[in-house]
Every structure is written in C-alpha cells, then in structure tokens.
A and B are shown apart, each in its own frame.
Chain A
Amino acid sequence: MASEKEKDQYDYLFKFIIIGDAGAGKSCLLHQFIENRYKKGSSHTIGVEFGSKIIHVGGRNIKLQIWDTAGQERYRSVTRSYYRGAAGALIVYDITNRDSYNHLVNWLQDARTLARADTSIITVGNKCDMKDKRAVTFLEASRCAQENDILFLETSALTGEGVEDVFIKVARVILNKIEDGLIDPNTMVSGTHTGSQRIGSDSGGEAMSSKTCSC
C-alpha cells in the first residue's frame, strides 16, 4: 500500500464526465473502475456523483476526477452544467438496448458543445457480457465511432471487462495532446500536486465549441 502522501501525488488532473441514457450502466462502470468490483443493487443517480482515481499512463501519474451524471432526459437541463471543462467524456450505451445506442448522437452533440472544444470522447458499449441479448453489433458501433471521430470500446461493468481500458485510453489521448502541445494543461483542471490547485473547473468555460455533431 502506498502511503497517503504517495497516493496523492499526480502530474495532471483530468476531469471526465460520464453521460448516456438512463440504465446504460454509467454508475456501475464508474464503480467497477474505482472499486474493481460490480455494484450489486445500486440505485439510479440523481443529479451527479463523483469518483476519482490515480492512474499511470505514459510514465505519468494522472488523477481522474470523474463526474457521473444522471441519464434521464428530463434531468439534462441540470446535468448539462456539469460538462464544463471536461477533458474527457464517456458516452455510455447499453448493447442490449437499441434506443440507448440511437441516442448517442444527441449525447455526442451535448459533449461537443458543452464540455471543451478539444474534449476527447469515447463511446462505450456496456453490458457486453449479455451476448444473447445484444441489439447493437460491435462492427456497427465501431463504424459509427469512426465516422464521428471518437474512440470506441465495449465493456462489462459486471465482469470488469474493458472497463479500465476505457479510462486509460481516453487519458492517453489527452496526455498525447498535451505532449504535442495541442492542449495547454493550464487551461483545464490540472495541477502538479494536490492541495495547491483548485479542483473547480472555472477555467474550462472559454472552451465552448462552435462545432456540431456531424452525424
């Protein structure tokens, strides 16, 4: 076990948001990532919940501050305010629920217009353990992601399959952008050590995108 001090050392702090239809498994995905186990008998999210974890990518310690939002359509007017300044966005759908996949485009548009112009987005097909109930093929979703220039992975929050990869993949893309000088880490929630920087996301406000979804 790392000491408290060691645990809180990180090079960058990335804000992630998890969005997608109600019941897609957003909170279970987050729980699996943070706790490495499936959250049985969980309630739906009201408003927003949080999780954070330090991961090691490309020789860097990156602290992910993850905002897990409620999925119900009616909550969107309130959850939208949480997108601001997010460096990464996970759009989760349920591979057994066609509707949740069809709504991807709406979520994508929200993410692109409300987070940052350069937000790294991944679409996540969750519940891939339920193969016999599959309603969206891997190929179809993969193609859609490609067309929209976003990442794609399938996961099972139940078994843990693919879950960590999702977070690492997005973090790696963001890190690459920083190292290539495409993102100035000072314009987002970032910091070199805990306690010295603000966790607020006020600095992300300027990054409103003019792009709209191409779907």
Chain B
Amino acid sequence: APPPADLPAAASAAPAAAPPPLSFAAAPAAAPAQEARGPTAGAGERRWNAGHDHEVSPRELTKWSEMVQFGVTRYMDVHPDRFRRRVRRGVPQRFRWLVWKAAVSRGTFDRDLPRVSSSYHSLRDVRNSSTSQIEIDIRRTFPEERSFDAEQQQRLFRVLNAYAGHNPDVGYCQGMNYIAGLLLIVSGSEEESFGVLCSLMDDPQYGLVGFYKEGLPLLKRYLRACDKLVLETVPQLREHFMKEGLRPAMYLHQWFLSVFINSFPLSMVMIIWDVIVTEGLPVILRIAVKPCMGCIHLFPRYA
C-alpha cells in the first residue's frame, strides 16, 4: 500500500473537494443543504443535496465530452493537472463510471471484462465463510436510499459474496458493503462493480484490502497519519478534542472504513470518490482533515 508519509506537507495544498465546514455527526442523506453548511459558508459555495449528482453547467459538460473523446486515460497522462482540477469540481454523472473504470484500470477495463465477468459468475452464488455475515448486512446498507431496493440488495449480496470468494483472506468486513453499494449505484452493473471493487481492494494504488483484512493494519496506519496531520493543521482543535476525551479513532473509523460513504450526503460522497478513484487512497487523509479545519470556526476562541 502507498505510504501516506508525504501527506503532512501536502495538507496546505488545495482542498480536495472543497467541502464546506461540517459537523462531525454523520449527515443523513436527506439533510437539507443548509444544515450541512457551516457558519462561514458563503453564497458562492456548492450546495450539497440529497440526490446523487451535483449541478453541472453546459460548459463543463462540453469540456468533459471533449476529454472523453480524447480518451480519459490519455487525457490523464497528457494534461494531469487540468484533469485533476476538473475532477475536483466533480465528474458529471453521465461520465462518472467511464472515468472511474478508466482510472482504476488505466484503460484496460473493457479488455479485461470478459475474464472478470466469468470469474464473477463462477463465484457469486457459491457460499463461503463470509456469506452469512454479508446476509446480515445487505439490508443495513444505504437503508435511507430509496433506490437501494430489494433487487439492488441482492446485487450487493452477489458482488460481496463473489469478492469474499475471490479473496478468502479478506472475505467480508463491514464497510466493504458501502463501497460495493456505491459502485452499484454509479454503474448499475454487477460485473463491472465487481471488477472495480477488485481493483480498489487489490491494486497497490488503492490497496483498500489493508483496511479490511484481519487486524485492519492499513486503517491503523492511516489513523496515526491523520492524527499527525490534524495536530499539524489544527492543533487547538485536537487539543480540545483530547480534553473532551474524543480520540481520533472515534470519528475516523467511520470515515475511513466506509471511505466517507456513510458519513456525508451522497452528492458530496460522489465527488469525494471522483477524487479518490483518480488520485489514489492517500488523498483521504487530506479530505478527512478538511472538516476538522472547518470545525475550527465552531470554537471562536481558537479561530
């Protein structure tokens, strides 16, 4: 897995998805936009909504159409900075899955799909040691999301069951259900969701497997790195938290193990994920620090 060691220096760089200040409480997907906005939110700031998508201007759509025509992977290589800047404004919904697939596979997704698909079909219905745990959790994934109906839950079951069969060392760990669920929401395809899930879990660029395997080794590493980053970025806030007995793990576990999916409104999650998928997992440290920086305004004596 990529070492997050370089991140403290990067903390002062541009915020990932420029999320507005947030409270630490998990924001329900249906929360009115203004509730998720802190006291400093200005008129020009992005509004987060209960739907899946952010608003995209026709001009932005044209830009993305051109990028897609040029080839997403090629564009990432030829204009990496411009690509990153545009992704951080959010990939338009209609291009999102295309971009995610291109980013995780470096453009080889369609070539590999028949192989992935056949592996998926051989695994999805075979019971394994994680199956009963998965069965408990499929009804507890996106319970407030109307589109996540019984059929979608069955798709989720099959994708998770197939992954547990594909990688028995990891099997299933809570949190993975949100990732597979998000992939299904974005793609609408079980086979493709399975393919992208495998890449996110197993490829070193993401290495999410380290979050979920026995002992949660990568999670613990990220907790330490993030705590250090909070200490360097907002030392007063960290001190305040520690004084109140609020240790970083108490909010970071949920943020990291669900990779923010269960913690913020879905339209915000989508953009956070645009950034993670195209930039790699270490960026989650900077994303995690942003709400902490926003929180500082809630404590006037520190501001």
Minimal Cβ-Cβ distance residue in B for A39: B143
Minimal Cβ-Cβ distance residue in B for A81: B249
Contact in complex: B216, A22 (CB < 8 Å): no
**Is B214 located at the chain interface by the 8 A CB criterion?**
yes
**Is A31 located at the chain interface by the 8 A CB criterion?**
no
Contact in complex: B133, A198 (CB < 8 Å): no
Contact in complex: A199, B173 (CB < 8 Å): no
Minimal Cβ-Cβ distance residue in A for B251: A47
Contact in complex: A78, B143 (CB < 8 Å): no
**Option from B143, B174, B175, B243 in Cβ contact (under 8 Å) with A22:** B174
Interface residues of B in 204-253 (CB under 8 A from A): 212, 214-216, 219-220, 243-245, 247, 249-250, 253
Contact in complex: A44, B244 (CB < 8 Å): no
Residues of B close to A23: CB separation below 8 A: 136-137
Q: How far is the CA of A42 from the CA of B249 in the complex (A)?
A: 22
Q: Which of A55-63, A69-77, A133-141, A147-155 contacts B (4 or more CB under 8 A)?
A: A69-77
**Is A3 located at the chain interface by the 8 A CB criterion?**
no
**Is A48 located at the chain interface by the 8 A CB criterion?**
yes
Question: Would you mind naming 16 contact pairs between A and B with Cβ atoms under 8 Å apart?
Answer: A22-B133, A42-B140, A43-B140, A43-B141, A43-B262, A46-B174, A47-B249, A47-B250, A48-B250, A48-B253, A70-B174, A74-B174, A75-B173, A198-B245, A200-B244, A201-B245
Residues of B close to A48: CB separation below 8 A: 250, 253
Minimal Cβ-Cβ distance residue in A for B170: A74
Q: How far is the CA of A91 from the CA of B244 in the complex (A)?
A: 26
**How far is the CB of B264 from the nearest CB of chain A, in Å?**
14
**Option from B143, B215, B262 in Cβ contact (under 8 Å) with A41:** B143
Residues of B close to A42: CB separation below 8 A: 140, 143
Q: How far is the CA of A199 from the CA of B142 in the complex (A)?
A: 32
Contact in complex: A77, B244 (CB < 8 Å): no
Residues of B close to A74: CB separation below 8 A: 173-174, 212, 214, 216
Also in contact, A22 and B249, with CB within 8 A (given A41-B144, A72-B173, A77-B215): no
Minimal Cβ-Cβ distance residue in B for A99: B132
Also in contact, A43 and B143, with CB within 8 A (given A72-B133, A72-B173, A77-B215): yes
Q: How far is the CA of A81 from the CA of B257 in the complex (A)?
A: 17
Interface residues of A in 152-185 (CB under 8 A from B): none
The 6 nearest A-B residue pairs measured at CB: A200-B245, A47-B253, A41-B143, A23-B136, A44-B140, A46-B254
Residues of A close to B243: CB separation below 8 A: 198, 200
**Is B105 located at the chain interface by the 8 A CB criterion?**
no
Q: How far is the CA of A48 from the CA of B174 in the complex (A)?
A: 13
Q: How far is the CA of A78 from the CA of B216 in the complex (A)?
A: 9
Also in contact, A75 and B174, with CB within 8 A (given A41-B143, A46-B262, A200-B245): yes
Residues of B close to A41: CB separation below 8 A: 143-144
**How far is the CB of A15 from the nearest CB of chain B, in Å?**
10
Q: Give 15 new A-B contacts, CB below 8 A, not counting A43-B262, A46-B258, A47-B253.
A: A22-B136, A41-B143, A42-B143, A43-B140, A44-B140, A46-B253, A46-B257, A47-B250, A72-B173, A74-B174, A74-B216, A75-B173, A75-B216, A199-B245, A200-B244
Residues of A close to B247: CB separation below 8 A: 81
**Option from A44, A47, A77, A81 in Cβ contact (under 8 Å) with B137:** A44
